[in-house]
Structure 1
């Protein structure tokens, strides 16, 4: 994700310092930025001269020594609360007082991330969507302490890097991911109740989504987002055993070449007949009644609508139209629906 964000910034002529924990990861990150730009050259969207000039805006470092004059830092590490807390405590000591400290977290409450910071007014969420150099949306998350000037400045940057910024309030999952937390849970409930997993994906694609929920889960990985919802909203959570059973056998999606689907070297997906063994075991553990005739689209999307209403009622989203825009631009919800 960090390389995609760096790509988006240097494409808009912002100089970027990319830092990593070791030389290997740093070289890999710079390599991904290079590949992103080379792809534009191959497609005729960028000249070789422009490529070289743009790459010159990127500097790689292994410590915070170069951060003494920066205006904005965007943290984009794995979703680990204690590590993020330590990073922001360190950044506060190495960055100038005016520097905006932003996190690209997709689910973690910013109040948790900033717990060890002295100056709460300059932390903000800058949630990009993968791939960050392509996806048009930027979710800006502010806490009750975030300075209005910090919000205005990040809005300006978002527009300059050609993103559509949407400002939301702070909570677990924020506006976009929180309203779609029930999406995967509902699909897992359907499968536990007897619906064919691949039929669910086909039905959702027929409805107008760019890909089905299980194919999407394979793409983005079985990360901590679902667990965050279960932990913070247990009263309306459904915990299927299907994903935990798959993870026991290292079926974690595209990253392992096997998830709900199997993948070849080019990440082309194919169905996996043996998945039925995991499904049958999950059904036996869940103990839910079998009812494969439920309307698939309603079963999956009505909980999303309900969660969106909660997000709006709690003031996380200022306008209902903002929730509509994010659903279309980030999740691929069909405009004509």
Structure 2
């Protein structure tokens, strides 16, 4: 698989490290979508939640994602069973000791993310890449309570994560190039379009998307119809209008 060429990253001769098992913290819409993407690409996944209710809900979302593929003729029942067998649900970090990549997908709460990253540092092996699916929060702030800033990266998937192709790999000045190269490799293997972006407000996509939606809201304040705004954006070349997008994203 040919990696995206990133000056100062992919031209240094670094080879991606093998990722054999992935852990995901949080089984909400994003976590379950990411888990679906990974098991469809044959990665064993450990999905952690805080209680049985949330864990069962997360596993249920993943099952529905796969069942949708069966209904559409994109997956056989046999492949459904084999793919689902790659998923393990847990309520603690015991099985995290054997993972090569851990992805945090909880709500955008800094203190909660800091707590989770401190726990990941404690329970994951020292080579494990620690990733966050945050869409806007400073990665240095998320990893502030750890001594593992060199292996913390952003892996910003877009909803629904098992369908949307773009993957922002967020690189901080302290992140190791090895971790970035490895995540580029994983991104390609799970059939995403990975791009490397800097650790700044909104990264790449939301940095542009925020003023785009603000402009749309300003037009509404001036009395313009939301459907006409959406249609104008589609005619310009956007795949979906800003207001339709707000309804489509959970």
Q: What is the TM-score when the length of structure 2 is the normalising length?
A: 0.85
What are the ranges of 5 or more consecutive residues in structure 1 without an aligned counterpart?
222-337
1:225-275 deviation per Cα after TM superposition (whole angstroms, max 9, x unaligned): xxxxxxxxxxxxxxxxxxxxxxxxxxxxxxxxxxxxxxxxxxxxxxxxxxx
Bigger radius of gyration: 1
Q: Where do residues 67-106 of structure 1 align in structure 2 (5 Å cutoff)?
A: 67-106=96-135
Find the residue that maps to 1:59 and give its secondary structure.
strand
The structure showing larger relative contact order (alpha-carbon pairs under 8 Å, at least 6 residues apart) is 2
Q: Does the alignment pair 1:26 with 2:55?
A: yes
1:195-239 deviation per Cα after TM superposition (whole angstroms, max 9, x unaligned): 233322232233332322122123336xxxxxxxxxxxxxxxxxx
Residue from 124, 131, 143 that aligns with 2:160: 131
Match of 1:172 in 2: 201
Counterparts of 1:220 and 1:131 in 2: how far apart (Å)?
A: 7
Q: Name the Cα RMSD after superposition.
A: 1.2
Change in CA separation of 1:39 and 1:220 when aligned onto 2, cut-off 3 Å: closer
Find the residue that maps to 1:214 and give its secondary structure.
helix
Match of 2:6 in 1: none
Runs (4 or more) in structure 1 with deviation over 3 Å come to none
Q: Where do residues 141-290 of structure 1 align in structure 2 (5 Å cutoff)?
A: 141-220=170-249
CA displacement at 1:126 relative to structure 2: 0.5
Counterparts of 2:133 and 2:52 in 1: how far apart (Å)?
A: 22
- Figure out how many residues of one structure are paired with residues of the other and give that number: 221
Larger relative helix fraction: 1
Counterparts of 1:159 and 1:127 in 2: how far apart (Å)?
A: 14
1:118-155 deviation per Cα after TM superposition (whole angstroms, max 9, x unaligned): 12100000011111111111110010000111011111
Find the residue that maps to 1:125 and give its secondary structure.
strand
Match of 2:71 in 1: 42
Find the residue that maps to 1:60 and give its secondary structure.
strand
Contact between 2:171 and 2:198, CA under 8 Å: does it hold in 1? yes
1:4-58 deviation per Cα after TM superposition (whole angstroms, max 9, x unaligned): 1001111111100000111111001111111111111111111111111111000
Counterparts of 2:41 and 2:126 in 1: how far apart (Å)?
A: 25
Counterparts of 2:183 and 2:235 in 1: how far apart (Å)?
A: 37
Residue from 57, 63, 66 that aligns with 2:95: 66
CA displacement at 1:69 relative to structure 2: 1.1
Match of 2:25 in 1: none
Counterparts of 1:120 and 1:128 in 2: how far apart (Å)?
A: 21
